[in-house]
Every structure is written in C-alpha cells, then in structure tokens.
Homo-oligomer: A and B are copies of this chain.
C-alpha cells in the first residue's frame, strides 16, 4: 500500500517543451491547418467529428495554444495593458478590479504596470508596453508631473495609437482619449448639497495642488454646489503636498492654526480626510462633534471605522468596467465619455446639525 504510483517523476522535471499544435494535429491525424481551425470556435467549415477528435486530442495532451505565436501571427496580443500609479491605493485597486472583471469574459488578460506616481516613469512604461502590442491600453489614476513630461507621455502614447492601438482612460477627463470619467465634479456638488441640506453652512477645503486635474474638478464641483445651495466656502488651503494622509494633516493643520472656524472641512480624498481628522484632534476638536469632516472616493466604504467618515462613492469599479467596455465596442469618430452616478454617504463625521 505504498503511494509510489501517485508520486510523479520528480527527477526529470524542467525544460521539456510544451505540446505544440503540430503534435496535436499529428496525433489526431489531420493537417496543421485543420487542427488550428478545429480549435478555433469562430471557424466555420470544420466537420463535426473532426472538430471533436481534435479537441479531445488537445485535451488529452494538455495542449495550450502559444499565445505569443498567435499574437505574432495576428499582430496583437489578447491583452489590455493598464497603467496604474500605485496598486496599493484602493482608488486604483477598484478601477483595476472593474477592468479585470470586464476583460476576463472577453478572454482578455490584464497587464498591470506600476509607475509610482512619476510621470517620467510612465513614459518608460508606455515604451515597454508598446512592445507587448497589447490589444489596447488603459490609463488609470491621476497624472502628476510637469508640462514637458506630460507632452512626452502623450507623444509616446500617440505612437501606439498611430499603429492602430486603442487607448482609453479611466479617471479624469484630462486626455484626448475615450474616457470613463470618474464623477468628481457631480460628486462634489452632490456632497455639499447634501451637507447644506442637513444644516452645514460654512466650509473649508484642504487640497493638494499636485494632482491637479482631480483636485480642480473636485473643487469646481464643491464651489458650484455651494453657490447653488447658498452656503459659504470660507477658506481654501491648497498646499504642495501629496494626496496622502500626511498631506491632509499638513494642510488642515495650517488651516486650523490660522484660526479659521467652519462647520466642516472637506478633502478631495478619503485618505487626505483621515489626515484632516488627525489634525482636528491635534487641535482639540473632535470630528463629527466639534467639526464636520468629509472625504471623497469612499474607499473605506464603512461605518465600522469610528467615527464613520462621510464621503462620496464614485462608482470606481463601474468606471473600470466601463473603460474596458469602451475598448470592446467599435470606436466612434467623435471621442466618447462614459459618465456615472456618484452616491453621497453621510456618516458619523457629519451628523445633521441643529
């Protein structure tokens, strides 16, 4: 009753080569071309019994078509290349997850390339990506970097487009590609409208001027909403800080030190809002009690963290999914924009006032 029959041949492991279509064809007794067709679901004109026989043979041999060979034959790989600044950022993770969800049923792989928020790094990465001849490219997250870098990036991407590669963006409406637009402006507008409705009348904004487009859109939405709702934006603190917890802390600290007193502080991301809360506490204010705090993104999605952070759900997974859908449908002569419904989530950091 030994188990020797179960154990494989452990010694002769590596470096055999995978089963090839040629082998499958030979074993099934057909020509290479026939085997190719039999295995291609889109190919008409194959006798049913031949098809079955070839498929069974392929299955039995554990045949897997060589995607690279297929790609060099057809000219492009069944791959969507996604540029993402930092996959640990839940904002990006949600976009990417949505993209993967939409890509898999279409038989497409998603390739992730980190760029660490540095636009010059992105240029390098796009160069690398062009080599892959991916079916499409997708830009995600927020761009930073100066005008020159930006132009260089666009140029590298345009080379890809020039060769017929479709490009889509998921995020801000800042590039001349089809874009699944994160509803920042509408979301910001809805947020301040809601807050006004539950009794907030004066606001301070803390923002980073680094991730410019994202912040600008958010700020524009807040200002529009404030005007409509008849509430005041008393102070805007824009600092050259990253959109991180520490950035939010720094900006809010300065604002509070300057003596501004408002009903609520708004930040352009939840991560920054966490820093705002810390700054408030450091200044002796309890968020949700002495002062309202609201973020943006809704990446925490929870009331379990106390106090629950008010935020705006930007439908990021849908945005990611929709970006892939844009790639999957035929391009139109004019540029397309997919839009989404944001959802305001008021939680413990902004209880109703009065």
By a beta-carbon cutoff of 8 Å, the part of chain A in contact with chain B is: 8, 13-18, 62, 64-69, 71-72, 75, 77, 79, 86-88, 90, 93-94, 96-97, 100-101, 104, 107, 109-114, 127-128, 130-133, 158-159, 161-164, 245, 274-275, 277-278, 302, 304-307, 331
Chain B contacts for A306, CB-based, 8 A: 305-307
State the CA gap A328–B338 with chains docked (Å). Answer: 42
What are 15 of the A-B contact pairs (CB < 8 Å)?
A: A8-B158, A8-B162, A17-B164, A18-B163, A67-B132, A67-B133, A87-B93, A87-B96, A90-B93, A93-B93, A100-B113, A110-B113, A112-B112, A245-B302, A245-B304
Q: Is the CB of A96 within 8 A of B72?
A: no
Chain B contacts for A304, CB-based, 8 A: 245, 274-275, 277-278
Q: Is the CB of A88 within 8 A of B93?
A: yes
Chain B contacts for A114, CB-based, 8 A: 97, 100-101, 104
Chain B contacts for A107, CB-based, 8 A: 128
Q: Is the CB of B17 within 8 A of A163?
A: yes
Q: Is the CB of A69 within 8 A of B66?
A: no
State the CA gap A159–B18 with chains docked (Å). Answer: 9
State the CA gap A161–B245 with chains docked (Å). Answer: 44
Known contacts: A64-B127, A302-B245. The answer to whether A133 contacts B100 by CB under 8 A is: no
For the complex of A and B, the 9 pairs showing the least CB-CB separation, nearest first, are: A68-B71, A15-B164, A64-B130, A100-B114, A67-B131, A69-B72, A18-B163, A14-B164, A68-B68
**Chain B nearest Cβ from A260, distance in angstroms:** 22
Q: Is the CB of A109 within 8 A of B101?
A: no
Chain B contacts for A245, CB-based, 8 A: 302, 304
Chain B contacts for A307, CB-based, 8 A: 306
Q: Is the CB of B67 within 8 A of A305?
A: no
Given contacts A68-B71, A110-B112, A278-B304, 12 further A-B contacts (CB under 8 A): A14-B161, A17-B164, A64-B127, A66-B131, A68-B77, A68-B132, A69-B72, A96-B112, A107-B128, A245-B302, A274-B304, A277-B304
